[in-house]
Amino acid sequence: MIDNKWFCEPNDERESWCFLILEQRNSEGDGSITGWQIGYGNPKKMTRTLSSSGSSEEEIIQGLLDEIYYCRREGILMITAERDSVPALRTHILLLGMEEASFRGVEYVCIDRLLEEHFLGLGDLDGSSGRSILELGERIGIVEDCEETELLRRIFLRIGPLLPKSFPPR
């Protein structure tokens, strides 16, 4: 009798999404990048988290680029909280003269932009309203105490079923 299964078992360790929190000296996006937090997760759980801070800005960004390239290679969707995260990162890469950096082929979405496009009055995280991801979590009923990347995953899971069929972009 053949013991091999012809189908794949569900893998709770798979990395479907990468949740990125970019830490900056000020919230306008023109201050230096002081660190980042990344959580890799799937609908079941957060599989692993990484962070970087305390080094030079160039070292911090290079570490983040390594994770971004991993996401591109593995086809993992990157999810940010604030709409300014990726443009701020691009700007700092340009100003630091990191010529080898590339965002081509990286798929990402912004929770703030999804909220603005598909939900009335829930957008503008840390923008002119001063609303934070923690406040958003509380407002939509996520009150558990957890890391920001896990909170971002829970928010994404809460709003995901309410998004159009064309989401996520693939």
| The pLDDT of residue 89 is above 90 | yes
Segment 26-43 shows an average pLDDT of 82
Tell the residue number behind the tokens 């100003």, with chain if given: 95
88 touches 29 (CB < 8 A) = yes
Selection from 103, 14, 117, 43 nearest residue 67 by Cα: 103
In angstroms, the CA 143 to CA 127 distance is 22
Q: What is the predicted pLDDT for the residue at 130? A: 45
Residue with more model confidence, 134 or 76:
76
Q: Is the dihedral of CA 138, 141, 143, 148 positive or negative?
A: negative
pLDDT band at 107 (very low <50, low <70, confident <90, very high): very high
Q: What is the predicted pLDDT for the residue at 54? A: 79
| The pLDDT of residue 73 is above 50 | yes
> Which CATH code for domain 17-162?
3.30.420.10
Q: What is the predicted pLDDT for the residue at 126? A: 58
Q: Is 59 helix (H, G, I), strand (E, B) or coil?
A: helix
Selection from 122, 36, 124, 121 nearest residue 86 by Cα: 36
Most confident of the ranges 26-30, 128-132, 135-139: 135-139
CB proximity list for 147: less than 8 A, separation 6 or greater = 37, 39, 49
Instruction: Give the DSSP H or E segment for 108.
Output: strand 108-110
Spell out the domain ranges in the chain: 17-162
